[in-house]
C-alpha cells in the first residue's frame, strides 16, 4: 500500500523539488510514495477534510512556509488545531531563524529551503516511520 504525501506550495518549482528529492521511495524500509500537490490553502483543507472523514488517507504533509498568500506555518497551526489525527507536518522554512516559527506552528519537523534532497528524504522518512507508515517487509 503506497504512502500518501501532500505537498503544498504556491510555487510549482518548489513542489517539484520536493517530489524529486523524496522520489518514489525515500528509504528502503518504506512503501512507495504517491503525491497530492496543492497550490492553495483551500485545496489543502479540502484534502485534510477527506483525511479526517476517512475517504483519503494522508501520511505526511510537506508545507512551504514561504507560500503566498497563506504561508505553511500559519496553515500548519490551523490544521493542528482543527484536524483530529492530523498527519505529521514537515515545514520548508526560508531561513534558519524561522525555526522558532516552525515550533510555534506545531510542525513535527522543519528543513531549510532550498531543499537539500538528503536532508529532506531523511527527515520525511523519520516522520513517515513515526506516523506508523507502512513499512516494507
Residue 78 lies in a domain: yes
* Between residues 113 and 108, the one the model is more confident about: 108
Beta-carbon-side half-sphere exposure of residue 64 (alpha carbons within 13 Å): 27
pLDDT digits (tens, 9 = 90+) for 39-80: 999 999 999 999 988 888 999 999 999 999 999 999 999 999
Residue 127 lies in a domain: no
Q: Are 7 and 18 in contact (CB under 8 A)?
A: yes
* Distance between CA atoms of residues 52 and 49, nearest Å: 5
Residue 38 lies in a domain: yes
Helices (H), 1-137: 12-22, 41-53, 72-82, 99-104, 117-130
Residue 33 lies in a domain: yes
* pLDDT in the model for residue 72: 95
pLDDT digits (tens, 9 = 90+) for 3-23: 999 999 999 999 999 999 999
Sign of the torsion formed by the C-alpha atoms of 115, 67, 77 and 36: negative
| Chain-centre distance for alpha carbon 56 | 15
Residue 123 lies in a domain: no
Q: Could you tell me the residue range of the domain that residue 19 belongs to?
A: 3-116
pLDDT digits (tens, 9 = 90+) for 73-105: 999 999 999 988 899 999 999 887 888 888 899
Residue 130 lies in a domain: no
Residue 27 lies in a domain: yes
Span 115-120, mean pLDDT?
Answer: 95
Which CATH number do you get for residue 43?
Answer: 3.40.50.2300
Which helix (H) or strand (E) segment holds residue 98: the answer is none
pLDDT band at 135 (very low <50, low <70, confident <90, very high): low
Domain count, the chain: 1
Residue 7 lies in a domain: yes
Contacts of 73 (CB under 8 A, 6+ apart): 63, 65, 91, 93, 98, 101, 102, 104, 105, 107
Entry pTM: 0.93
Amino acid at each position: 500500500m503506497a504512502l500518501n504525501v501532500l505537498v503544498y506550495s504556491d510555487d510549482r518549482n518548489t513542489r517539484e523539488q520536493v517530489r524529486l528529492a523524496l522520489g518514489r521511495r525515500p528509504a528502503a524500509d518504506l512503501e512507495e510514495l504517491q503525491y497530492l500537490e496543492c497550490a492553495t490553502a483551500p485545496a489543502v483543507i479540502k484534502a485534510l477534510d477527506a483525511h479526517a472523514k476517512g475517504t483519503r488517507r494522508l501520511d505526511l504533509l510537506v508545507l512551504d512556509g514561504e507560500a503566498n498568500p497563506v504561508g505553511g506555518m500559519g496553515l500548519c497551526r490551523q490544521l493542528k488545531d482543527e484536524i483530529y489525527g492530523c498527519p505529521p507536518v514537515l515545514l520548508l522554512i526560508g531561513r534558519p531563524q524561522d525555526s522558532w516559527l516552525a515550533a510555534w506552528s506545531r510542525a513535527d519537523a522543519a528543513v531549510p529551503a532550498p531543499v537539500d534532497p538528503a536532508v529532506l528524504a531523511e527527515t520525511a522518512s523519520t516522520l513517515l516511520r513515526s506516523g506508523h507508515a507502512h513499512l516494507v517487509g
